[in-house]
Structure 1
Amino acid sequence: MTTRVHPGAIVEPGARLGDDVVVGPFCYIGDGVEVGDGTQFGPHCSVLGPTRIGGRNRFMGHCAVGGEPQDKKFAGEHTELVIGDDNTFREFVTLNRGTGSGGGVTRIGNDNWLLAYVHVAHDCQVGDHCIFSNNATLAGHVTVGDHVILSGFAGVHQFCRIGAHAFVGMGAFVNGDVPPFVMVAQEDYGRPRGINAEGLKRRGFDTARIAAIKRAYRALYVAGGSLDEARERLAGLADESADVRMLLDFVRGGDRPLLR
């Protein structure tokens, strides 16, 4: 199979398309766009550069990819969007480039599913194997680990971090860092509600690993006291589990307050 560009599509001379790429009707692929082998664009997608897209990605209709950041400080500096391999972007997904003051790159990893109307703002860093349900939104500078699930209409405040294997419930507004493995439920703002045990089981975590993560969660959220005291309790548990060490490292870092 060779690359196919619909007669109704526009591909600028400065764009580079790999093998087996499909560009559907009424698409626009701009200068400075690089597309890897096997990637497909449905109708009415727009891709602006500088944007680098890996292989075997699928963009359904009306995706807007690589647009300028929605940031008043952006002054036209060279920034980019980088997308890995094997991702699916459903209808009306919007993905913005980075800003010069925010590192310059918005990055999305591999094997992610972003469902209809998801928005990923400037300078976000998204890992691998994530699922963002309909209308989930990341403000600027958000970092998302691997295997994270954002339910429909979830919103994440700028500069927040979402740790690996976390689960954010439908309609939850996240205005602080969410540690790895933690579930967040909707209230006025999202609040921790245990660990994502079911998701961990599906990914092959055994009983001992999950039990260690539960002990770490209780040390952080149930035992009471200050955050410094919670960190000390986590440090005491870290030797028993690499997962707990990862959680402790997460809690020690970051610019936003921890969601508690």
Structure 2
Amino acid sequence: MSAIHPSAVIEPGAEIGADVTIGPFSVIGSNVCLGDGVEIHPHVVVGGRTSLGAGVKVFPHATVGMVPQDLKYHGEPSRLEVGANTVIRENATLHLGTEGGGLLTKVGSNCLIMANAHVAHDCMVGNNVILVNCATLGGHVHVGDNTIVGGLAAVHQWVRIGEGAMVGGMTGVENDIIPYGMVTGNRARLGGLNLVGLRRANLPREDIHALRNAYKALFDGDDPLQARVDRVAAEFGGSPLVDRMLEFIRAGGDRAICTPRLRDRETE
């Protein structure tokens, strides 16, 4: 049995799973699908073609599935998907996709979207991702699994953030971040690897050691990045973490790869 407060507005056509809770003054749109065990707190709006997976929790004044802040959007039937057990805290905003981004914005499972965080149109957010308070993802941003984006950080449109990365608070990210990279600064620069995250993931020590050596080799020297990628692949290829980092770089994207400052390269 679902518990729906009498003051909540459930538009005709909405699909409500089992054991769903919807609090006072919340609005659920006609094209919304709520999975089993979803909890909608008071004063929440869930609209658009939005699906929330089982066990998702949405806190007061969050708006989920609203039209994107993109002037090119013209009402196309785009969607938002949120995976199971993700928590969306107060005042967070998650927007629908656009035609230019495949008509889909997607947030994975077991994520924590903290208060006032923003997920813009066409973002692809992996599993176990944390967006700290006021973190902002511009349109078309890809965020890998197990990544943390710090409070008040802003990520430029089309940026890719590899799995296991750590973005420091109040950091402006305008270039791609390698998997397991750690970045800080007014304009983000690599400051090493996210070693704390790697250890918390209980990854083998030998794999972490290989990644550290590969990182140093990758950002040592002034020859073209592709030449350094090939050199690292020849020396350290075969280690799973190294291979993922190299695959990320080779895949390319619309933005450059974030690199260390010169002084960081000298002391790393």
**Which residue of structure 2 aligns with residue 136 of structure 1?**
135
Counterpart Cα distance in 1 of 2:169 and 2:126: 20
**Which residue of structure 1 aligns with residue 233 of structure 2?**
235
**Which residue of structure 1 aligns with residue 102 of structure 2?**
103
1:235: how far off? Answer: 1.7
1:255: how far off? Answer: 2.0
Gaps of 5+ in 1: none
TM-score, structure 2 as length reference = 0.94
How many pairs were matched up?
258
1:240: how far off? Answer: 3.2
Counterpart Cα distance in 1 of 2:104 and 2:52: 13
Q: How does 1:1-260 map to 2 (within 5 A)?
A: 2-186=1-185, 188-253=186-251, 254-260=253-259
Q: Which moved more, 1:217-226 or 1:70-79?
A: 217-226
Instruction: Describe the superposition over 1:163-196 as per-residue Cα deviations: whole angstroms up to 9, x where unpaired.
Output: 000000011100010000100011x301100000
Letter in 2 for 1:164: E
Letter in 1 for 2:136: T
Counterpart Cα distance in 1 of 2:235 and 2:142: 26
Contact 1:141/1:158 (CA < 8 Å) preserved in 2? yes
Counterpart Cα distance in 2 of 1:237 and 1:183: 23
Contact 1:237/1:244 (CA < 8 Å) preserved in 2? no
Q: Which moved more, 1:199-208 or 1:166-175?
A: 199-208
Counterpart Cα distance in 2 of 1:78 and 1:219: 47
1:219: how far off? Answer: 1.9
Q: Secondary structure at the match of 2:68?
A: coil
Letter in 1 for 2:146: H
1:217: how far off? Answer: 1.1
Work out the percentage of aligned pairs sharing the same amino acid: 41
1:233: how far off? Answer: 2.1
Letter in 2 for 1:250: F
**Which residue of structure 1 aligns with residue 266 of structure 2?**
none
Letter in 2 for 1:210: I
Contact 2:207/2:240 (CA < 8 Å) preserved in 1? no
TM-score, structure 1 as length reference = 0.97
Q: Secondary structure at the match of 1:107?
A: strand
Counterpart Cα distance in 1 of 2:242 and 2:91: 38
Instruction: Describe the superposition over 1:194-231 as per-residue Cα deviations: whole angstroms up to 9, x where unpaired.
Output: 00011111110122111111112112223443212221
Over 3 Å counting, the alpha-carbon distance change for 1:14 and 1:237 in structure 2 is farther
